[in-house]
Amino acid sequence: MAFGEQSVARADRSGDAYRRMVNRTTLADAQHQAGRREESAEGFSAAEAMQVEQQPEYPWLYALRGYQYCDLLVSRGEPEDGAGLDGLATAQGEARQRCQEVQDRAGQTLEWMTSERWLLFIALDHLSLGRAHLGLALTAPRPATQGEEAEADFAQAAEHLDCAVEGLRQAGQEIFLPSGLLARAALHRLRGNQIGTAADLSEALEIAERGGMRLHACDAHLEGARLTLQQGDAVAARQHVAAARRLVNETGYKRREREVAWLEGRVGVPGSAGVSPAG
C-alpha cells in the first residue's frame, strides 16, 4: 500500500490521465486485500470517474480493473461475522444487491471483452458472473418459486465458473487460475460434490504453493477447512485453519481476518472469538 500511495501521487504529478486511473485501481486492490474496504471502494469509484471522463462510451471499469472492483463488491456483500458464502442464506439484503450489481457490470464488460477477444479478461468476467450467480442462488427469496430461482442461478454459476477455469487455462495466466478453481470448489462443496471440490482445491493449493502465491494458499486452506468440516474431519480442519491463520498474520491479508476467526470458532481453537465448534 505504501508503494501504491507513492505511485498514485507520482501519477497525479505526471498528468498522465491513464496512469492516474490505473494506479488508483492497483492501490485500491491492495487496500481491499488488506481489509480496508471503505478506502478501496473510494479508490475504485475515483478511478471509474476518471475512466468515464476519458472513455464516456465505457461507463464501468473493465478488464483486470473491472474484475478487481467486482471482487470488492462481492466481498462487501458477505456477512460481517466472517461466515462467507456459508452465511449468505440468512444474509440477503446487501449481499443480493451487490451480486446483482456484479451481474450487471460483468455481463456488460464481458460483451466488451468478447468483441476484443481478450482471453484473460473474458475469463475473469466469467469468474465474476459465476460468483455473482452463486451469491444470488444462496440469497434467493424463500417463498413459492425460491427453488426454481435458486436452481437457475446455480446452473448459471456452474456454467460461468467452468468457462472461467477453462478460459484462464487458455490464457496461460496461472497467477489467476487458483481464483477460478477455488470459486468452483466452493460451488461444488455447496452442491454436495465433494469429489469435485477436492480436485479443484488440490490443484489450486498446488499452484499456489509452487508459485509462492501466499494469498491464494490462504484462500485454499480456508476452503479446505470448510470441506473437511463438512466431512467431519476436525483434525484436518484445524490444520487448514492454523495454516490460514499463519498466512494472514505473515502477509497482512486482513481481508480474511474475520473468516479465519469464524472458522477458528467452528473448529474450537482456544480463545477464538466465534461460534461454538461444529459437530
Helix segments in the chain, DSSP class H: 2-14, 17-33, 37-54, 63-76, 93-116, 119-138, 146-171, 177-190, 194-211, 214-230, 234-251, 257-267
Percent of the chain with pLDDT over 70: 94
- Distance between CA 265 and CA 271 in Å, rounded? 9
The alpha carbon of residue 135 and the mean position of all alpha carbons in its chain are separated, in whole angstroms, by: 11
Within 10 angstroms of residue 232's Cβ, the number of other Cβ atoms is 10
pLDDT confidence of 269, banded at 50, 70, 90? confident
Residues in the chain, overall count: 279
Model pLDDT, residue 276: 37
Q: Which residues contact 164 (CB under 8 A, 6 or more apart)?
A: 123, 124, 126, 127, 130, 180, 183, 184
- Distance between CA 244 and CA 246 in Å, rounded? 5
Domain-located, residue 7: yes
pLDDT tens digits, one per residue of 57-98: 999 999 999 999 999 999 998 888 888 888 887 666 789 999
Within 10 angstroms of residue 250's Cβ, the number of other Cβ atoms is 10
Within 10 angstroms of residue 164's Cβ, the number of other Cβ atoms is 27
For residue 59, which amino acid is it? P
Report whether pLDDT(37) > 60: yes
Domain-located, residue 111: no
pLDDT tens digits, one per residue of 94-107: 899 999 999 999 99
Contact 181, 211 (CB under 8 A): no
C-alpha cell at 227: 470441506
Distances (CA, A) of 136 to 92, 96, 265, 270: 9, 6, 27, 35
pLDDT confidence of 144, banded at 50, 70, 90? very low
Domain-located, residue 274: no
**Residue 1 is part of which domain span?**
1-59
Domain-located, residue 40: yes
Domain-located, residue 207: no
The dihedral through the CA atoms of 74, 77, 81, 85 has a sign that is negative
pLDDT average, residue stretch 239-250: 98
pLDDT tens digits, one per residue of 115-125: 999 999 999 99
Model pLDDT, residue 275: 40
Model pLDDT, residue 204: 98
Domain-located, residue 3: yes
Domain-located, residue 114: no
Cell 498446488 belongs to residue = 206
**Which conformational region is residue 212 in: left (phi greater than 0), alpha (psi within -120 to 50 degrees), or beta?**
left
Percent of the chain with pLDDT over 90: 84
Model pLDDT, residue 93: 78
pLDDT confidence of 187, banded at 50, 70, 90? very high
Domain-located, residue 117: no
Q: How many domains, in total, are found in the chain?
A: 1
Report whether pLDDT(166) > 80: yes
